[in-house]
Amino acid sequence: MLPRRPNLPALAVLTAFFPALAAAQEEAVARPFELGAVTVTATVPQIGEIGEDQVASVVTRKEMRQFNRDNVGDALNLLSGVTVSNMQKNEKRIYVRGFDSRQVGLFIDGIPVYIPYDGLVDLNRFTTADLAAVQVAKGFSSVAYGPNTLGGAINLISRKPRVRLEGDASIGFGEGNERQASVNVGTNQGLWYLQAGASYIESDNFRLSSDFRPTATENGGARNNSYRKDDKLSFKFGLTPNATDEYTLSYYKQNGEKGQPPSTNPASARYWQWPYWDKESLYFISRTALGQSETLKIRLYIDKYDNALDMFTDATYTTRSSNGTGPSVYDDETKGGSVELESTRFASQTLRLVAHYKEDQHDKFDRSRATIAVEDFNDKLVSWAIEDNIQIGPNLMLSLGAARHQLRPDTLYDSTKPGLTLPGKKTANDAQAGLFYDWSAAVRLYATVARKTRLPTLSDRYSQSMNTYIENPDLQPEESVNYEIGYQGTPWAGAKAEAALFYSDIDDKIQTWYSSGASCTAANKCQRRNIGKVRSKGIELGLRSPLSSRLELGGNYTYIDLENVSDPATRVTDVPRHKIILHALFRPVSSVDLVAFAERDSSKWVSNTVRLDGFTTLNLKAVWRPAKNISGEAGVNNATDKNYELADGFPNPGRMWFANATYTF
């Protein structure tokens, strides 16, 4: 058994050491790190806000706390156009307008974040306690993000302190013996600032709905092998020598541990555990003014991903699987950087030139009872981009962008396949245009078209999926042309409304080719090929408005129609056609909030033959503020105890209570 990573100590005790300081608004504590935001053209932001590029493109810290979104996956689910699924590895994956987690880039302060081998991350492992906002661009996104934004980009924006001393501390408890705590502290001294955070969350299990029917692999009640544990440290030091320049160094360390609940279908049950899922990162971001017209922005980073998977033969979790691998150890690393030069030298134009370099290293060993299998893969990514925002008139802007990406395989070693040949370079080209018209100070109309690509991952090209696939080093990039017209505005005082029509043509989609039948086995191996063509079209609507000083209502609606053009007999899976979110905030007195949040997802296909029923969930909570800087809350998620699934064989939690307390200074 591999050694377990140490936990953070119980963070709740730290709250006792904070002096009673002058209270500050939560928005000040959660001021976003402006250097971490990536936009094409933005509405003018207020202090402590992020300008928006697309419909429903930002989840603020206020919304994350209001609706108790403790991980990034749950936070993203607040948005229109986004759906979530729990995959077989107990990983939370998202779909943005039908594009999956590999096709929509994930970034932290503009820096790409993904496991080098397969391009994925488990969004359950990314907590939100130290975030100021989550920024989402759908379809049309800045070329400054770099490669692999086929369906858009998700940017996690960290905090930046605004005053001499500010912060918050929280502690919480919940069903399944859940306990969590977080602390964030910041200081801004003018010429320099510091921001530090620590968070911890652990749960022994979650409870299934009372309507769940037991199976041979799950008897109901507490979900088998559903434990989880995550802790995270974050630290940022910044220098601001003048009004235009800024230099920051950030460090992140997160440790995770989780079990994978076995499928409730005995034929598909896996008995897997992750003794650790860890990430360690060091980021440098700077902005330097070069005279009156040019600005230079630099991002440098190194990310390390370590995780191990234990496979067992049964629910006792004592005997390792003989035909599998255990432990299976990933030791992956990515490093790189980008240079961005922005110029306003030409009248009514903002021109950006961007260059990216990234190196992905994947090291793996699998230890079975007899042998050790070793993998050593290395890719290099190089990208160049240009973006030009042209102010055609006082209220009309044209945004143009183009990029060229190149994948350069560098190392290819697999001890089980000594004859592998290093493939050649692969290139991909992106181009886009957007027209933004401000009808008035309260109304923006826009139309965009973007040709985007995704280069194949190491896993796409080389994974043999336990000897059931043939590797395909010659896979080519996926391509998509994304169209959108939309509206953003304030139809009346205090309200926020959004609407968008979108359409995407996806070509050369990497899909499974079957040699015979519809299954992949050692005797009938499959292969990943560029054989897919998919169309995605739909509509998004959103509205949020106060109806009085005591009542606020809001919600959004998404309709997505996905069509497998290349193979109509094979369904596009995991995305419901309809999704509705509604919420209400009622304040009977100034110190009390009552919050209700409801979500309705229609049925969805998860395979060619399995269709999951639609569901409606309701979350309720009450918040009490005995003082301006102290709040306590108690609530229940899935109040109706609905039995539902996001993936076949993996039911979601039933009715779960929670309670939290927060101190802000």
DSSP at 406: E
DSSP-derived 3-state class of residue 165: coil
- What are the tens digits of pLDDT across the range 622-662? 999 999 899 999 999 999 999 999 999 999 999 999 999 99
The yes-or-no verdict on residue 10 having pLDDT over 70 is: no
- What are the tens digits of pLDDT across the range 77-102? 999 999 998 877 778 889 999 999 99
Alpha carbon dihedral 261, 599, 541, 485, in 10-degree steps, equals 10
Cα separation, 256 vs 663, in Å, equals 26
The answer to whether residues 370 and 409 touch, using CB atoms and an 8 Å cutoff, is no
As given in the structure block, the two tokens for residue 67 are 């609706």
Cα separation, 153 vs 432, in Å, equals 15
Q: Higher confidence at residue 455 or residue 364?
A: 455
Strand boundaries in 240-348, DSSP class E: 246-260, 271-290, 294-312, 328-343
The yes-or-no verdict on residue 501 having pLDDT over 80 is: yes
Cα separation, 343 vs 283, in Å, equals 25
Q: Higher confidence at residue 240 or residue 90?
A: 240
As given in the structure block, the two tokens for residue 425 are 């370079």
- What are the tens digits of pLDDT across the range 122-141? 899 999 999 999 999 999 99
Q: Among all chains, which residue has been given the structure tokens 């395979």?
A: 607
pLDDT, position 187: 97
The yes-or-no verdict on residue 453 having pLDDT over 70 is: yes
Alpha carbon dihedral 605, 606, 612, 618, in 10-degree steps, equals -100
First to last CA, the chain: 44
Give residues with Cβ within 8 angstroms of 113, minimum separation 6: 106, 107, 121, 156, 303
pLDDT, position 580: 98
Which residue in 296, 289, 373 sits closest to 327, CA to CA?
A: 373
As given in the structure block, the two tokens for residue 8 are 């953070």
The pLDDT-based confidence of 401 (bands split at 50, 70, 90) is very high
- What are the tens digits of pLDDT across the range 35-78? 888 877 654 443 334 444 544 588 999 999 999 999 999 999 99
Phi, psi of 461 (to 5 degrees): -85, -35
In this prediction the pTM is 0.91
Cα separation, 538 vs 139, in Å, equals 12
Give residues with Cβ within 8 angstroms of 37, minimum separation 6: 50, 51, 110, 135, 155, 157
DSSP at 45: P
pLDDT, position 37: 81
- What is the percent of the chain where pLDDT is above 90? 75
Phi, psi of 421 (to 5 degrees): -110, 135
pLDDT, position 14: 32
Left if phi > 0, otherwise alpha if psi is -120 to 50, otherwise beta: which for 290?
A: beta
User: Do the bridges between strand 105-108 and strand 152-158 make them parallel or antiparallel, or are there none, so unpaired?
Assistant: parallel
Cα separation, 606 vs 167, in Å, equals 43
572: exposed, middle or buried (Cβ count in 10 Å: 0-12, 13-18, 19+): buried
- The CATH architecture one would assign to domain 11-664 is Beta Barrel (2.40)
331: exposed, middle or buried (Cβ count in 10 Å: 0-12, 13-18, 19+): middle
The pLDDT-based confidence of 263 (bands split at 50, 70, 90) is very high
Chain mean pLDDT for the chain: 89
pLDDT, position 576: 97
Instruction: Give the mean pLDDT of 461-477.
Output: 88
Cα separation, 243 vs 258, in Å, equals 45
Q: Which amino acid is at 518?
A: A
* CA distances (Å), origin 326, targets 228, 267, 522, 589: 20, 21, 20, 57
The yes-or-no verdict on residue 115 having pLDDT over 80 is: yes
As given in the structure block, the two tokens for residue 513 are 């080719």
Q: Which helix (H) or strand (E) holds 66?
A: helix 61-66
pLDDT, position 20: 33
Strand boundaries in 124-222, DSSP class E: 131-138, 152-158, 166-174, 178-188, 192-203
Cα separation, 203 vs 256, in Å, equals 12
As given in the structure block, the two tokens for residue 248 are 């920051």
Which residue in 22, 83, 74 sits closest to 538, CA to CA?
A: 83
Q: Which helix (H) or strand (E) holds 401?
A: strand 396-414
Domain ranges of the chain: 11-664
pLDDT, position 463: 87
pLDDT, position 57: 81
Q: Which helix (H) or strand (E) holds 601?
A: strand 592-601
Q: Higher confidence at residue 593 or residue 91?
A: 593
pLDDT, position 146: 94
Instruction: Give the mean pLDDT of 492-501.
Output: 94
- What is the percent of the chain where pLDDT is above 70? 91
The pLDDT-based confidence of 464 (bands split at 50, 70, 90) is confident
Cα separation, 460 vs 56, in Å, equals 32
